[in-house]
A and B are shown apart, each in its own frame.
Chain A
Amino acid sequence: MFVFLRTTNAKTMNKMRQNRNEKKSVVYALQASLGMHNEQMRKRGGLMLAVATVLPLLVALYHFLPGLVDSFTYDLIKLQPESHLGEAINFFFYDTIKILILLFLISSLMGVVNAYFPVDRLRVYLTTKKLYGLEYFFASFFGAVTPFCSCSSIPLFIGFVKGGIPLGVTFAYLITSPLVNEVAVAMFLGLFGVKATLIYAGSGILMGMLGGFVLGKLKLDKYLSDWVREVQANAMIENEKWEGEKTPFIDRLPIIIKDGWDIVRKVLLYVIIGIAIGAAMHGYVPENFFTEFLAADKWYAVPLAVILAVPMYANAAGIVPVIQVFVAKGVPLGTAIAFMMAVVGLSLPEATLLTKVMKWKLIGIFFGVITLFIIVLGYLFNLIL
């Protein structure tokens, strides 16, 4: 009995010691996490403060930009407002700054959307639910909000195929992805205004849907690369659980903003070159110069513009300022939009990227169908706009 008591006593003593140790370590951990917490809080506070000051400043700058640039070009460096040079320089500074602000804001906004867009859930959703055609819209819309880059497009394409999503729906994504991107939207918004931007983005999404639907009906699966066909044969409906994003928004913001800034930095040079060319043309090329070939009453204008544009590879940043001048000099907006779509939506680098997952024949059909659609769209816009 006594022995038993002693052992229990020793046991409890041990337990108590253990408890104390545990308590101690809990206290340490708490202190550590509090310390980290404090630092984190300070970081977050600083970040919020930075956003709260920079954002209104950008908006204010955007708002007062015309006046500022006017006083800069005409008062400070004393150029004549009526002169070609004065006009061109004014145009250049105004557009460059305006577009950089827009580009930064839109890239960051798209970054936020992207960070929270549930790709995996979308895939599960597309494979498991009967959507009566709405799946084309989802895939196309998804293409619009994600940035087009080799990093995401091919893995996503395979991911879709692997999940057993029909090829047509996958194509809907693949069409819209390069067509509607943050750079194109920012440039359109800055140079053509809200209405043209909405038309551009909306018709881009619509085209993804229609193009995907038509390509899906053509039964093109046999022209996929052999290894992709293997993946497709082993496709299964994955019902994996979707894992929500656990990192709080405020902690993800710095990287999102940095990404946004990286996009601006990457296209900065193209923006400047594009706008410089645009500004030069704006000031010097006479009205109606381009209309000789591309006017609305010339039936061949749209196909000519589109076919010229397909092999051209320029990013949206470089090409939109030039197109804006075309429009200002009398080329109809529909022709311009069709041209723009063909330049950014179909390009040789994209084709080479696609060779990894499909045979050349399929790439040819894909490009052909999209070219046709863009031409039809161009005519349509010229009729209704």
Chain B
Amino acid sequence: MSNKRIKEAPITMDTFLKGVWEENPVFVMLLGMCPVLAVTNSTINALAMGIATTFVLVGSGALISLLRHTIPRQVRIATYIIIIATFVTIVDYVIQAVSLELYNALGAFIQLIVVNCMILGRAESYASKNRITKSIVSALGMGTGFTVALLCLGTVREILGAGTLLGFPIFGADFEPWVIMILPPGGFFVLGSWLLIFALLKQRKTKMEGLARAR
């Protein structure tokens, strides 16, 4: 790694925004689907999961980036997992300290952040190759993208499945909640719909680009 120490590109807004839009972990890379489907049955759960994952991404990214020249290649995956597990354990305790109700709602999915392939993927492909500041900015971007994606699912599922937003009822008493939306199948339906929207957007963009080129 040290033999090709070319000058790194400076940190731009793009370093951050790439994770939010262009390389969105959920809608573009389809990583970390397990929490995306499992804990997005309400807005608050989605938000908490997103923040917890962002914290782990940033913490592990920073530490891995800091140690990138000392970690031998042969044991890098084991090392990354230890570092990620450390931050997950910290998050686990912090959430219990913040709210037991939230902790019970998220259940085993906090511990399961360890095996979220997005985090290990970012450690391997980005944090281990870039400076600490850049890794942190990129991890923040990825975390924001993940949180936004979880919120996209969480709000839609909560509104349709429970008729509430952040626990406050938004429809009249006549509204019959669409319960399936907060059950597991609803997660697949809503994720599928969002992916469809993003695919349509992408298709339109390439079409427009094709037209522009033809002209």
Pair from one complex: no
